[in-house]
Every structure is written in C-alpha cells, then in structure tokens.
C-alpha cells in the first residue's frame, strides 16, 4: 500500500524536523518541509500531497488563513492546522475558513497520529459526500422536469437547471429565498396567488398536488402553465428535513386538451359548431325558455341545392372550398349570439335566439337565400347555389333538441319537394 504523502508548512525548523521524523516513523511519506506559506502553494502545485500540515499564526502572518483556504478550495487537498490555543480560539470564531482538524501546540506523537488519521478520514468522507452530491446533482439536472428543494423553513436549498429555465432564477440567487418568491404560482381558477406549498406539505406530511390550472409567473413575467406536486422529504427515521417541488411546463398538454376539445365540438372543415355542440346549445335554449315565458327561439335546417353536381363537376377539393365559403356566408347572415352549425355533407343548421315571432326567422331564411344566391368565385370558377330551408319554433315545456331538429328537417324536406331555393315553416298542429 502506498504511504500517504504529506507536506509540512512550519517556520520553526526544529519542530518541523520533529514532525517529519514522527510522521515517517508512523508510516507516512513526508515529501517536503517549507517555512514559507507562500512557497507552500508552489509546492502543492508541484508535488500534489495528500495532506498539508499548516502552521497557522494569525497574530504574525495575516494571510495564513487565505493561503490555507486556497490549498483546500483550489487544489482540493485537506489541511490540518497546527496552531497555538489563542489562534485556535480565533479560528473557531471565523466560520469563513474550515479545516479538516486542529492540532494544538505543543502536541504528543499520539495526538499527531490521531489528528492526521482524523483529517484523512474526514477528507475521504467529505470527498465521498461531494461525489454523491455531484452525482445526485447530475441526475437531477438531467431530469426533464423542474426540481426545487427547500429547507424545513420553506427556503430554497437547491434548484436544478430546468427550474432555472422556467423560473428565471439562477441557483446561487435563489438559495435562501422563500419558495413562493422563486416559484411564484397563481391558481387561475380561483384567481389567487398560491402560498408556500412547502410548508403545507411538511406540516401534513403528505404530497400536495398543484391546482389543475396552476400558472407559474417567471422572474421576467412570463406566464407558464405547470403541473405536478410537492412532497415532504423525510430521513430514515421519518423526520421531515425539507420539501421537494417537482413541476413541468404543461403548455403543450394544455394546447392538446384545447385541440381535443375543439375537435369534439367543431367541424374539422368549416370550423363551425358540429351537431354535438349545436344540440348542447339547443338544450340550453330550451332550458331558458322554461324559465322565461317571453323567450322565443327558432331552428333552421338547410340543405344546399345541387351540391352533388358541384362535387362531380369540380372535384372534392373544390367542393370542400365551396362548403367553407358557404359557412362564412351563413355566419354573415346571423347575429353574434346565434349559432350556425354543420351537420355533415351539405347540411347546416341555425339556432336563432331571442326572436319575437316566426317572421324574424323567415327574414333570416330569406337573407340566407339572397346571400347564397350571389355568385361565388373559387379558383377562377363562378359557382351559383341555393338552399332549401326548414323552420321550426320552440313550442313549450315538451321541447327536445332532437325533436326540434327533426321538425326543421321535415319542413326543409317538404320545401325541397316544391322546388329549389324555398323555405317552409313546420306546423306542429298538422305535423307539416
């Protein structure tokens, strides 16, 4: 086994030689003895010892502590301080500089042996701990989600690179700040700022999920929807030692949810409400009519005349462009509070709300026919079309969405039988 290499920094030559002889008799390899702390830095760079025994004299040499600290921080070599009792008291007060041990002068051989072994043991332990921390930091920084760890008082202990990216805080700036300052969260549903969740997690000892519509306000003011949770950190015996917040940007997920919701309720070609959404709005209109005796609404069902011929003549691509243009024309004929929906193919429906009587619905039907009758220019082609329209009004408490649409469809069918570009009003008494 290779003996540990030691550098001795001691300005009293007799004491230095005694230390060297003692260490060598104990099996250590003393590479050098130097009287100058400044020279010690050069020696460390040249010979790379495993330990430096450093005579510290604060009263006589003001820069001893800085030089010893340089050896530890820049060269990562442990330093064992050799010091008088008065200097030890001063060192003990100064928390800025840390040593792997202190050895008070004068000392016996056994004290020197014990101090050196303790310095090596503590160094190995700290090195192992540092390696584990670096490994853990590398793992945490490799995660695709943000991680923020707090102390038991809710102040930030560490954040990973993804947390820096999302919050806008750099780790050294965030350390020691309250979690709520670094991770500024707002519950969009409640329209209120979310407090320090670390405290809640640690007090309850349970995982706390972020609200469904939780938004992170980054340091530069960006609003980022996030999701996940915060959990208490417990040691091996169950004592809470802090909390860890894990979260991720859910912007894409939210956008996907919005798109799925849109696909469920809107026609993919025209962008109009589909049958599902139209039925829902019709159901809401029926509920309003039950609460208000003066509330009237009408349903118009439209079928384009001759659409098959347009498809056959110009192709389905032109047919799709034609339907999109018709959808825009239909929307231009109604108010913003009304609903134009596509049922598929060349069938459309319109929900007219807050009307006075059937004449309002007839006027809209006429306006639609006049608008659709105007020539439509698509890809250099001029296309003319008309529509057959069926109209029905709400009748009372026994209305159902499907039955109203069926009645309007029936009125449209009868109008089409009489010829193109006609409208018909459903008569419930005669079922016509």
**Which domains are delineated in the chain?**
5-139 (3.40.50.2300), 143-252 (3.30.450.20), 266-425 (3.30.70.270)
Q: How far is CA 264 from CA 250, 258, 271, 304, 326, in A?
A: 21, 10, 11, 24, 22
pLDDT at 233: 92
Question: Cα separation of 122 and 100, whole Å?
Answer: 6
Q: Which residues are bridge partners to 243 per DSSP?
A: 150, 232
SS3 267: coil
**Intra-chain end-to-end CA distance of the chain, in Å:** 107
SS3 call for 241: strand
- What is the reported pLDDT for 402? 93
167-207: pLDDT as tens digits: 999 999 999 999 999 999 999 888 888 887 888 899 988 99
Give the DSSP H/E element, type plus range, for residue 248: strand 240-249
Closest alpha carbon to 326 in 351, 352, 345? 345
Taking the chain (432 residues) in runs of 10, the rounded mean pLDDT of each run is 82 88 90 84 89 76 76 85 73 55 82 88 82 80 87 92 94 92 90 85 91 92 92 90 92 87 92 94 93 92 90 85 94 95 93 95 95 89 91 84 94 91 83 56
pLDDT of residue 425: 95
Instruction: Tell me what percent of the residues of the chain surpass a pLDDT of 70.
Output: 93
Residue 361 is predicted with a pLDDT of: 96
Q: Residue 59: what pLDDT?
A: 55
Q: What is the pLDDT of residue 200?
A: 87
**Rg of the Cα atoms in the chain:** 41
- pLDDT for 90 equals 66
- Taking Cα atoms as reference points, which of 178, 184, 168 lies closest to residue 226? 184
Q: What is the pLDDT of residue 366?
A: 95
Please list the residues that pair with 227 across neighbouring strands. Answer: 248
- A 10 A CB-CB count for 354 gives 15
């Amino acid at each position: 086994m290779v003996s540990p290499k030691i550098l001795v920094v001691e300005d009293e030559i007799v004491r230095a030689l005694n230390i060297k002889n003692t260490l060598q008799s104990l099996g250590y390899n003393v590479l050098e003895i130097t009287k100058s702390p400044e020279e010690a830095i050069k020696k460390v760079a040249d010979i790379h010892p495993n330990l430096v025994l450093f005579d510290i004299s604060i009263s006589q040499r003001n820069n001893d502590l800085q030089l010893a600290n340089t050896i530890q921080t820049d060269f990562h070599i442990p330093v064992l301080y050799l010091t008088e009792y008065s200097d030890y008291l001063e060192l003990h007060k100064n928390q800025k500089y840390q040593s792997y041990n202190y050895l008070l002068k004068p000392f016996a051989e056994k004290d020197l042996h014990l101090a050196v072994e303790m310095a090596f043991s503590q160094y190995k332990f700290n090195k192992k701990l540092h390696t584990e921390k670096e490994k853990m930091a590398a793992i945490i920084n490799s995660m695709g989600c943000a991680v923020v760890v707090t102390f038991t008082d809710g102040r930030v202990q560490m954040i990973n690179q993804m947390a820096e990216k999302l919050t806008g805080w750099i780790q050294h700036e965030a350390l020691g700040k309250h979690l709520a300052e670094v991770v500024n969260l707002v519950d969009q549903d409640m329209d209120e700022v979310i407090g320090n969740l670390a405290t809640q997690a640690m007090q309850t000892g349970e995982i706390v999920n972020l609200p469904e519509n939780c938004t992170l306000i980054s340091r530069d003011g960006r609003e980022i929807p996030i999701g996940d949770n915060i959990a208490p950190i417990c040691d091996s015996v169950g004592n809470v030692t802090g909390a860890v917040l894990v979260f991720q940007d859910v912007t894409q997920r939210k956008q996907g949810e919005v798109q799925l919701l849109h696909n469920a309720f809107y026609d993919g070609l025209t962008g109009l409400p589909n049958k599902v959404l139209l039925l829902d709005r019709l159901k809401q209109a029926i509920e309003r009519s039950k609460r208000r005796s003066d509330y009237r609404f009408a349903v118009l069902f439209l079928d384009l005349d001759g659409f098959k011929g347009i498809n056959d003549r110009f192709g389905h691509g032109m047919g799709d462009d034609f339907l999109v243009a018709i959808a825009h024309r239909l929307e231009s004929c109604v108010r913003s509070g009304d609903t134009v929906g596509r049922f598929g193919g060349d069938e459309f429906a319109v929900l007219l709300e807050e009307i006075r009587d059937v004449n309002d619905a007839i006027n809209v039907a006429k306006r639609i026919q006049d608008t659709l009758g105007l020539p439509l220019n698509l890809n250099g082609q001029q296309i003319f079309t008309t529509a057959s329209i069926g109209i029905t009004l709400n009748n009372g408490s026994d209305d159902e969405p499907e039955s109203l649409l069926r009645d309007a469809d029936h009125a449209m069918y009868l109008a089409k039988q009489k010829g193109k570009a006609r409208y018909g009003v459903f008569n419930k008494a005669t079922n016509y």
